Amino acid sequence: MRIDKYLSNANFGSRSEIKKMIKQNMIELNGKIIKNGKEQIDLTKDIVKVNGKKISLETKRYLMLNKPQGVISATKDSSQPTVIDLISSKDKIKDLAPVGRLDKDTTGLLLLTNDGKLAHELLAPKKHVIKTYHALVSGIVDDSLIERFKNGITLKDGTNFKPAKLKILSINKENNTSKVSISISEGKYHQIKRMFKANQMTVLTLHRLSMGSLFLDNSLQPGAYRRLSSQEINILKNKK
């Protein structure tokens, strides 16, 4: 890959800005000042420095975000804040995007990456990637509802939702609410909310805990993120 293209993709500036940096002798390749942006680099072994600082020659980025309420799962929007707005400039690698979507008012685990192949694998219906949520719902969840979710829910409009695992965490009879855990293997539009609505219940809060083998880091505050570890990336790729 050309060094100017790599640096541009890694958000070190536009091609023209990278060209200026080269003219100012700010970029080194394996200890030598480069004079041409067309210089080819080997991402597996070459050492690149910008203004004396070594940079990581990675082309893929994997981020775990604890999505807060009030932001949408999109790369850009003219009127609303997006999850990409929560990412610092040093991590906004080209083509970084959320894997799937969480509703604006839904919180919790959201994976962001520019690895399109992995994103497709995680979202493909045939892969049956399990996503687990905690929800607070109006009404009292009982064994009969657990059984209905287990057998799959069909809406009046004919929409079918695959079997889901519903578990009661706690019941508050005074407030007429239930805290539950729910695991689904698909991600249709407003799916969990629609499943409960079909049973005359309303989802009050929804928080995603896991996606496949990836679990939300409990140390991440709402709006905070971190890069995935090598082990987490390998687990995701090998066990989706």
SS3 97: strand
Q: Rounded to an integer, what distance in angstroms lies between the CA atom of residue 83 and that of residue 66?
A: 10
209 to each of 3, 20, 212, how far by Cα in Å? 39, 45, 10
CB-based contacts of 213, cutoff 8 Å, min separation 6: 235, 236, 239, 240
What angle separates helix 230-238 from helix 116-123, to the nearest 10 degrees? 50
Give the SS3 label for residue 197.
Answer: helix
Runs of H (alpha helix) within the chain: 3-9, 15-23, 116-123, 143-151, 191-197, 230-238
Pick the catalytic residue: 85, 91, 103, 217? 103
Contact partners, residue 221, CB within 8 Å, separation at least 6: 66
d(CA 146, CA 171): 14
Is residue 103 among the annotated active site residues?
A: yes
The CB density around residue 160, as the number of other CB atoms within 10 Å, is: 10
Picking from 49, 55, 59, the residue whose alpha carbon sits closest to that of residue 22 is 49
- Known catalytic residues are 103
